[in-house]
Amino acid sequence: MGLFDKIKEKAFNEFIDIIEWLDNTNDTIIWRFPRYQSEIKNGAKLVVRETQIAVLVNEGQFADIYEPGTYELTTNNMPILSTIKGWKYGFNSPFKVDVYYVSTKQFLNLKWGTQNPIMMRDKEFGPVRLRAFGSYCFKVELDPTKFIKNVVGTDGNFTTEGIKDQLRNFVITKFTDHVAESQIQVLDLAANLNEFSEGITKALAPDFSEFGIELTKFLVENISLPPAVEEALDRRTSMGVIGAGNMNAYTQMQAADSMKIGATTGNDSPAGSAMSMGMGMAMAGQMASQMMNQQNNAQAPIANQPPPLVSNQSTYYVAINGAQHGPFNLQQLQQMITSGQFNSTSQVWKQGMPAWAIANTVPELQNLFNSATPPPIPPPLP
């Protein structure tokens, strides 16, 4: 036997007289004291620090459990192990037993998220897909035997990495069920995240408890919708800002925006760009005029304001470059004819018409084209 083997054998044969765990990690839940082949000395010191619990395990059978403190391992302080081993009072020999340290601190900010969209039926939008993410916190229950038996097994160094995937599966399942059962509309989800998180915390508690884990906090940090639904919500918000009583201005604003987009992306010809820009400027000018009139009316005394006029003038939608624009009244159409933005072959439609029609086939619009071209200039007098 070599010198190294002798030293190794001597180290193994030495009795362990101090058992402790200095945790320098943030994610270790279970740590087994590395006893190897050495025996624990009778009367050895067991140190259990705050946020720790020590568990003695004899050949897979749970024995004594120690809360924070310092203990002398004798038959007096190991009643369960002494019973299992059949030790009589005054037993004074070294012994072999596995010592598991369990961290009882809270493990914070574990992330969860939906890998795939969750389908739900909303009363307003119909079937929609949701994505969500958040975080949760947990700790091992006061009795750690359930956690060791159901999760850890014989693993001597168990971290949060070994269980977070299973916990995330619990979270996604309960989250999906709770979204469907709560019947909270999509528009109200963001305003109810706290209540939503509390409800899921209660629903998840039994599942976590089966593993010997206490769920201390569960947070839903964000719920996102598909881009199409978010776009619809943005459009609705714009309508709410403008006001339900000013839908004509909102329609004109949409027309101006679409013309601007068409000028930059939809039509590469200079004439098309100029026409789209001209129509956009005309709409912007009209909206500015309407806003100025509304401001002047708001500043005038209420007693001097005349009653609102009811307009029976027809308004038409116009197809330009394959896109719908409008509605425009007859005066606006006359200006568009003069600027070359609208002609007799343009497609038009107004409320009550069964389908789109060519402008010069609409009797109400024929006079616009007849008067659009001024008569010839007479020759100068002799």
Q: Which residues of 271-294 are buried (b: 16+ CB within 10 A; e: fewer)?
A: eebebbebbbebbeebbeeeeeee
Give the pLDDT confidence score for residue 310 in this predicted structure. 39
User: Per the domain annotation, does 114 fall within a domain?
Assistant: yes
Is residue 305 one of the residues assigned to a domain? Answer: no
pLDDT at 117: 84
376 located within any domain: no
pLDDT digits (tens, 9 = 90+) for 278-319: 555 554 455 555 555 554 544 444 444 444 433 457 889 998
CB 32 within 8 A of CB 153: no
Same domain, 69 and 131: no
Q: Classify residue 235: in a domain, yes or no.
A: no
* Domain co-membership, 65 together with 163: no
Residues 204 and 115 in one domain: yes
- Same domain for 10 and 73? yes
- Which residues fall within 8 angstroms of residue 79, CB to CB, at 6 or more apart? 64
State the angle between helix axes of 330-338 and 270-299 in degrees (0 to 180), rounded to the nearest 10. 140
Let me know if residue 307 belongs to a domain: no
- Look at residue 30 and tell me whether its pLDDT is greater than 90: yes
- Determine the pLDDT at residue 76: 87
DSSP track, 24-89:
--SSEEEEE---TTPPEEEEEEEEE-TTEEEEEEETTEEEEEE-SEEEE-STTT-HHHHHHHTPPT
Average pLDDT over residues 78-106: 87
Check residue 35 and give its pLDDT.
74
Residue numbers of the domain that contains 68: 3-103
Which of 83, 103, 123 represents a domain boundary (last residue)? 103
Residue 45 lies in a domain: yes
How does residue 213 score in pLDDT terms, banded at 50, 70 and 90?
Answer: very high
Up-side HSE of residue 173: CA atoms within 13 Å toward CB?
A: 10
Asked if residue 253 and residue 353 are part of one domain, the reply reads yes
User: What pLDDT was estimated at residue 262?
Assistant: 55
Whether 13 shows a pLDDT value over 60: the answer reads no
Specify whether 9 is located in the same domain as 53.
Answer: yes
Model pLDDT for residues 369-379, shown as the tens digit of each residue: 875 455 556 66
Query: Same structural domain for residues 90 and 30?
Result: yes
Q: Is residue 237 part of a domain?
A: no
> Is the domain of 364 the same as that of 256?
yes
Percent of the chain exceeding pLDDT 90 equals 21
The answer to whether residues 98 and 113 belong to one domain is: no
Say which CATH number the domain at 224 has. 3.30.479.30
pLDDT level of residue 80 (50, 70, 90 thresholds)? very high
Residues 156 and 192 in one domain: yes
Domain total of the chain: 3
The model carries a pTM of 0.56
Are 91 and 82 in contact by the 8 Å Cβ rule? The answer is yes
Q: Average pLDDT over the chain, rounded to whole?
A: 77
Token output for 260: 């601007």
**Residue 93 shares a structural domain with residue 64:** yes
Domain end marker among 172, 201, 228: 228
Same domain, 77 and 135: no
pLDDT in tens, 156-193: 889 999 888 888 888 888 888 888 777 777 777 777 78
The per-residue pLDDT for 93 is 83
Position 216 scores a pLDDT of 92
Residue 297 within a domain: no
Domain end marker among 79, 103, 127:
103
